[in-house]
Structure 1
Amino acid sequence: MTGSEASPSFRLAYVPGVTPTKWVRIWNERLPDIPLTLLQVSATEALGVLREGGADAGFVRLPVDDTDLSAIPLYTETTVVVIPNDHVVAAVDEVTTEDLADEVVLHPLDDTLDWERPPGEPAFERPATTADAIELVAAGIGLLVVPQSLARLHHRKDLTYRPVTDAPESRVALSWPQDATTDLVEDFIGIVRGRTVNSSRGRTQAPEEKQPPKAKRPATGGTRRQPTTGKPTARNPRGGSSGGRNAKTGGKTGKPRRRS
């Protein structure tokens, strides 16, 4: 390899809330000689990073423009409202957007939910990030509706969350540039889709072991036993059993002798 050639590697972007640990572990087990580099990016810049070649693939939030990017939907998240521990909503198991109508609901600039109209009363100013909005919730400024993974990511002891049953849901997908579907991308797709190492697709399949040919059963010699059915045979033209009483008596038949 010349000095101008770069060694193979794989760059994986992921947005906040996604935990790629399981897939990275499988990659390291199957492709130990090809390092995987993780790159955390915001939800708003993730697609741009893929288009500009900053990553080979990435875990992003839908929707994705399918004109230049491919995407495989993976799972859908529950949407929750983040609240202080002593808030009245903390007393119930779940809420609707109507239950939040009189509350100030923060709507950060990096919001990942596709709202037709955000619930509640808007704040005077939109926070720049979800992390900033979490701080405002802790300060009692308002509430925040986010995917559950983001509520867990920004967990604080003084805050809790409850499911919002009728809010938009966030879907996570694996995405990559359509014109850069490399062999390594195919390998990672196989890992995410749960293909085994011996799958017929992908490049990491193990060679199949050749089974030794089965030994042929040796031909048996000797005279074949005659069937014992009632059908006529060469040795028993009249049919019937060849091993019965007549065979023992030499085949003699006739009427029994009368005693004197």
Structure 2
Amino acid sequence: YQQLTGTAAPEVFHTNEGHAGFLGIERIQELMAGDAALSFDEALAAGRASTVFTTHTPVPAGIDRFEISQIHHFFQAGLAPSVPVDRILELGRENYADGNPSVFNMAVMGLRLAQRANGVAKLHGEVSRGMFSALWPGFDHSEVPITSVTNGVHVPTWVDGRISRLAREQFGTEAEAMGRWDLAYNVSDADVWALRREMRAALVEDVRRRLRAAWKKRGAADAELGWTDSVLDPDVL
């Protein structure tokens, strides 16, 4: 992409969950095969210095884990020809207390390829430090270098304007500014359902508009697209 567009090379890379972890392997491949021709250890250090890893999973069962033989099969075929396959396997191998050395753990690889790591809430950071503490033997859980960044939303764009308008009508601007969303329980079921139906109808209309535009972009004529006017039922969705 950089070569095609002339875009400046990024200075920091973010791997969001373990399934993005092979980004780190590709960076090592580029550094080893490029003009600098770094060794594996040099490329690993350079890649780690500019990589941040985020874990979202609060339970071990949610982590992507594969048999080592599966990972070996694909990398042996030349996915990263400059990178020693045995070194790739060691990055994800659960070679720690209570781990399974025959398993390749994507989150473990992500952590080993990143300089910094974080969970997505304060509590999740605490949970993650416990989950991955075996990677830092001898550290107390509180000292495991996984921090947290609490996810949030931009309320004016996350909350539909019609909901904010109903809140102002029902409670006034002061209650809205104070975040008194507990007052929502005072709104009648009829008002909530009417608003929900209005928003659902708007969603269906937007889907129909986008679908029609997509088909026209493919060359379909207006005469062929009457069916898009009845896609989805706002009384069912």
TM-score (norm 1): 0.20
Which is richer in strand? 1
Larger of the two Rg values belongs to structure:
1
TM-score (norm 2): 0.22
Which is richer in helix? 2
Tell which has more relative contact order, 1 or 2 (C-alpha 8 A, sep 6+).
Answer: 1
